[in-house]
Amino acid sequence: MKFFIDTADVDAIRELHDLGMVDGVTTNPSLILKSGRNILEVTKEICSFVKGPVSAEVVALKADDMIAEGRKLAAIAPNIAVKVPLTWDGLKTCKVLSGEGFMVNVTLCFSANQALIAAKAGATFISPFIGRLDDINLDGLDLIGDIRTIYDNYDFKTQILAASIRNANHVKDCALIGADVVTAPPNVIKALASHVLTDKGLDQFNADWAKTGQKIL
């Protein structure tokens, strides 16, 4: 499974990148706002060291405007994935931009039918939002499973990019179901290394080592 980092915080991306944990990055207008930076500048900086796909999102609502914005974003770097919403205009944009050879990430997916039609439109990635479905008492992981089945049935090449990841269990479950990618905030990626029994065992080892009176260095 690939790990994309869902943030526009360059320092946080670099920290995980140095550990080999960054296969790509996803951003959106809310994350750009949180960064306090210009979208073109921060996206260019991220692309300067992240070699995998970096998603940058259009903000227009009409297809012609989305296409123009998408082309401008795609010009930042060859590894830009233009992010478009799963609306009819977004699908039109996806078809045009994917036809021009650009990667397209179709976002805000909440149903298997939406994922199916995005694949038909040539999406490189489909981004189903797990956490937001959980918030309204629907099982977001069921959606990942449904999309996996549909894509496998018809050999669609669109990659399932599980989004709105809230916790480490979401990551594990997406891996078990067969999502191609998860995009998660840095704190969730870091949480994958944590376990209470690891901490407990380390405390015991340290206590026993202190009793030996030895040093390695």
Q: Name the catalytic one among 62, 83, 190, 200.
A: 83
Domain of residue 181 covers 2-192
Within-domain flag for 31 = yes
Q: Based on the structure, what is the number of domains in the chain?
A: 1
Within-domain flag for 201 = no
What is the per-residue pLDDT across 93-140, written as a single tens digit (0 to 9) for each? 999 999 999 999 999 999 999 999 999 999 999 999 999 999 999 999
pLDDT score, position 135: 97
* Buried/exposed code over 160-194 (b: 16+ C-beta within 10 A; e: otherwise): bbbbbbbebebbebbeebebbbbbbbbebbbeeee
Q: Tell me whether residue 190 is one of the annotated catalytic residues.
A: no
CATH code for the domain of 139: 3.20.20.70
Within-domain flag for 197 = no
Within-domain flag for 164 = yes
Within-domain flag for 168 = yes
Low-confidence ranges of the chain (pLDDT < 50): none
